[in-house]
Amino acid sequence: MKLVVCIVHNRDRGRITDELVKAGFKFTVIGSTGGFLREGNTTFLVGTEEADLPVLKQVIAENCQSREQLVNVAPFDSGAATPFVPTAVKVPVGGAVIFVLNVAEFERF
Ligand code: 2BA
């Protein structure tokens, strides 16, 4: 058995939830926060058999959209007493990041 940790943009949360239910997956949805953008995102925990991984990946890939977002990044601290001037950079957001972990044991009581 595998545990798939899948992080997606909040905008894709509803669609992925609907499609995972339709496809018969069992999962937990956690509200999370991206360390870089510090914005809310969504983490799915999906326990699944290895044989179902390709379908799971397909459902995720087909229901999340990648887009670019401008974010303000603070400059590295030069030590000089200069005013704070953030720089806007484009980063890809959305899509999905997944981690596939081996499950040592699964029980339901
Ligand atoms: P965030 O950390 O908020 O990152 C959002 C997006 O910002 C990232 O998208 C990436 O395109 C960009 N980004 C992140 N760190 C960066 C940096 N140091 N410099 C420049 N750009 C950077 P994704 O890579 O698709 O990640 C989406 C979310 O998935 C992340 O949100 C984070 O919550 C999670 N994530 C990504 N990689 C992870 C990892 N190795 N471990 C744990 N969580 C991860």
Is the per-residue pLDDT at 78 higher than 60? no
| Residues constituting the chain | 109
Residue 18, CA distances (Å) to 15, 57, 68, 101, 102 in order:
5, 15, 25, 23, 25
What is the whole-number distance in angstroms between the Cα of residue 35 and the centre of ligand 1?
Answer: 7
Q: Which residue's CA is minimally distant from atom 21 of ligand 1?
A: 91
* Model confidence pLDDT, tens digit, residues 37-72: 899 999 999 999 999 999 999 999 999 988 888 888
97 lines ligand 1 (CB under 6 A): yes
What is the whole-number distance in angstroms between the Cα of residue 18 and the centre of ligand 1?
Answer: 24
92 lines ligand 1 (CB under 6 A): yes
94 lines ligand 1 (CB under 6 A): no
Residue 6, Cβ density class (10 Å: 0-12 exposed, 13-18 middle, ≥19 buried):
buried
Residue 51 backbone phi and psi in degrees, to 5: -65, -25
Q: Read off the pTM.
A: 0.86
Atom of ligand 1 nearest to the CA of 95: 25
Is the per-residue pLDDT at 17 higher than 80? yes
Is the per-residue pLDDT at 77 higher than 70? no
35's CB contacts (< 8 A; 6+ apart) are: none
How do the domains of the chain map onto residue ranges?
A: 2-75+82-102
Q: Which residue's CA is minimally distant from atom 40 of ligand 1?
A: 97
> Which pLDDT value is given to residue 67?
82
Is the per-residue pLDDT at 74 higher than 80? no
Range 2-75+82-102 has CATH code 3.40.50.10300:
no
Share of the chain above pLDDT 70, in %: 91
